[in-house]
Chain A
Amino acid sequence: MKRAGFSTKWMPILLLMPQLVIIAIFFYWPAWHAIQSSFYLQDPFGFGSTFVGLDNYTDLLGNSEYRRVAIFTLVFTVLVTFFSLAIALLLAVKADNVLRGARTYRTLLMWVYAVAPPVAGFIGLIMFDQSWGPLTRLAGVFGWDFVLGVNFNDTAAAMVLVSVWKQIPVNFIFFLSGLQSIPRSVREAALIDNRSATGRFWDVTFPLLAPTGFFLLIINITYALFDTFGIVDTLVKGEPGNNPMTLVYKVYVDGFRGNDLGGSSAQSVILMVLVLALTIFQFRLIDRRIHYT
């Protein structure tokens, strides 16, 4: 195979420069600042700062509230990722089989994608209103006294529900195109070998969807960890109280509301390390087991 090459080594560097500069300015520089200020306690106005070493980190790790938020974030991420992938896959498989009216069905499912997270949160706020929310009333029918914003578990349930609802369309689009790219011949061959639709799905379709699924898994974990911020903020109305919150939201609460720049920076650094570890783990361990066509 012939490889295209450059005659000088400066040309590729020059061509890469704009991208590298952008990465440096918008990622490495702020990241470096976050790491630096995580070792200091700073007056918000910038008049004084005291070097405190690892105090900001030890304060966090020794804080039972921080652990509680971390555990909630973990549970929340697992639930959101699992349900938004599973439901989207189910819908995609069903949509793939529909012959008539397929376009309408798909368009309707994709619509939700256009809803911004705070708007999704606001819809959740209306649906779960304590006195007249339709979903609160529905829960009441089953004897569930749903009180959003008062009960920790109820608020958590609403957060998961809204986040899953918001994420399903993206997953659906990817799964559907993944399904449609499976060659017809493979499906026909499978039809001869196995008469059970469920069996065919798990033995043939699912493994062939694995690359898509792997990609979506990463996207969904990042979504649950970071992009649900707007939903969390809207559902707790900016006043978390005893309601659940995610790690990213806590960075905001302590840093932007509370003006605790050092503590908030330490939390950001912990999140950066977490994402780094997650990425390495996924690409090193899981990527190898997946077969890309």
Chain B
Amino acid sequence: MTTAAVKPATMAQALQRAMRDAMAEDPTVHVMGEDVGTLGGVFRVTDGLAKEFGEDRCTDTPLAEAGILGTAVGMAMYGLRPVVEMQFDAFAYPAFEQLISHVARMRNRTKGGMPMPITVRVPYGGGIGGVEHHSDSSEAYYMATPGLHVVTPATVEDAYGLLRASIASDDPVVFLEPKRLYWSKAEWSPEAPAAVEPIGRAVVRRSGRSATLITYGPSVPVCMEAAQAAAAEGWDLEVVDLRSLVPFDDETVCASVRRTGRAVVVHESTGFGGPGGEIAARVTERCFHHLEAPVLRVAGFDIPYPPPMLERHHLPGVDRVLDAVARLQWEAAS
């Protein structure tokens, strides 16, 4: 890449660029996973890294998720910053033991003596017609584990900025990549990449006064579209993109809800035991006297991720979001 011109870039390219820049700046950054080398990952997110930095820095590992993350723990103990790719959401489960028992709590076990600066990249979520085990939204499992940061970008710029921040973080980060946004494009200059923000700040993607849509990752574009459609009905919706689920930006979220008095949480993950329950509870605890209606949730159904030909019925779409917004108005009027 030699031209500095602003041209459309995909989220996958921005993620690749983030790893490339991090590896160029810091020789302790190592990328590892299944097929990340020669192939460049099944989504091509690590494309070219092995060629540029060698197989010792971008390593095709044996096919074993616990082994990948477990060896990354040892590498981190010796001063490296591993960036681990889990091929698909549901294939990260074999690594849960290492993640929960060691990655998340090594700092704590050792009173700060052994930090774990590991980034675990997980392509997640549905909408790409994947067969079973290729579309899970597993964020609630990660959120329930103290010691982990959990972040998920929704834009090309954030993909770059958040991944740089994650790799630079001295704490382990589960970096959830909304795989159906991999090919979403934006005008973006890889030569002058976006600012690297600290992890933990939500952003208001669209401001409005009638109600707040609280969302993240793959549901952000859905909410933006819903907000646009709602405008035609006279509802002026604000959209908050969380970007980071842990830590949670209570401040931005609550400031918005206090302004609008109404909130809907939107995500693909299941509703029962899902992130929306936590978010709704936090908002209710903090903003109860500002609320004019109960905090509603629009989530995936409480079912194992459906087969691809039925996934459109499961995924929260614009209509379901608008229906919830309509219910908010109704609750307020009654």
Chain A complexes with chain B: no
Interface residues of B (CB under 8 A from A): none
